[in-house]
Chain A
Amino acid sequence: AQSVAQPEDQVNVAEGNPLTVKCTYSVSGNPYLFWYVQYPNRGLQFLLKYITGDNLVKGSYGFEAEFNKSQTSFHLKKPSALVSDSALYFCAVRERGATNKLIFGTGTLLAVQP
C-alpha cells in the first residue's frame, strides 16, 4: 500500500532563514508526489508536484521540493521564509490506478517567527 510520512508535527523557523519540511513516501513503482498548503479555515492550495524529470521541482510562492529516489523523500524547501508562509503543509502521493486519489500525510505546521 502506498503511504506518506511527515515526521515533524511542527517546524519553527525565523523569518529570512531557509526552511525545510520533510516528507518520505512508500510506493510501488514511480511515484507522483505533491505538496499542498492549508491556511486557517481554508481548503488545500496546490504548491507543486513531481511526476517525472528533474529532481528539483519549483512551485508557487518561491517553494521548491527535492525528489530523492534512493532516500524515498520529497522534502519541501524555501531559501528565505516569510511570516506569511506560516500554515499547515501536506505531502501527498497519488495512488496508482484509474483514479487520481490522493493519499496525504498527517501534515506539518510551519511557524515562521518575525
Chain B
Amino acid sequence: DAGVTQSPTHLIKTRGQQVTLRCSPKSGHDTVSWYQQALGQGPQFIFQYYEEEERQRGNFPDRFSGHQFPNYSSELNVNALLLGDSALYLCASSSTSGSWNEQFFGPGTRLTVL
C-alpha cells in the first residue's frame, strides 16, 4: 500500500513565477491538507480539501490556491512567487471515517524561489 506521494521532490523557480505541486493521498483517504514548513520552523497549515472543496484555510494569501480531484488527489498552486515562499511543502491525507482521522504525511516538495 503506497503512502502519501508528492511530486516533484524539488523545484527551483524565480520570483514572480507560478508553481503547481501535486499530492496523491494514501489509499482509502478522502481528505487532503497542505502545510508549509519554512526553514527552522514547524509546519503551518495552508488549507484542507474534502469532497473537492476547500474546507478550511489558514493564514495564507490568495496567491495560494488548491484543487482536489474526484480521485482525491490534490494540487497546490502558488502564483506570483516571493522569496519567502521558499519552503518544504507537505501534503497530509486522512479519512473522514474512523474515530480520530489521523493525518499521514508525504515526503514533501522542497521549493526554492530565487
Contacts and interface: CB of A to CB of B under 8 A. Distances in A.
A and B: interacting chains? yes
Interface of A: 32, 36, 41-46, 49, 51, 90, 92, 97-107
Contacts of B94: 100
A104 B41 CA distance: 9
B55 A105 contact: no
Nearest to A45: B105
Interface of B: 4, 6, 31, 33, 35, 40-45, 48, 55-56, 58, 90, 92, 94, 100-108, 110
B106 to A, nearest CB: 5
A102 B100 contact: no
Given A99-B48, A102-B43, A46 B104 contact: yes
Interface of A is mostly: loop
Contacts of B110: 41
A44 B105 contact: yes
A103 B44 CA distance: 7
Contacts of B103: 46, 100, 102
A111 B100 CA distance: 32
Contact of A101 (B42, B48, B108): B48
Contact of A90 (B31, B42, B58): B42
In this complex, the member of B42, B48, B110 whose beta carbon has the largest number of chain A beta carbons within 10 angstroms is B42
Given A43-B108, A44-B90, A100-B94, A107 B42 contact: yes
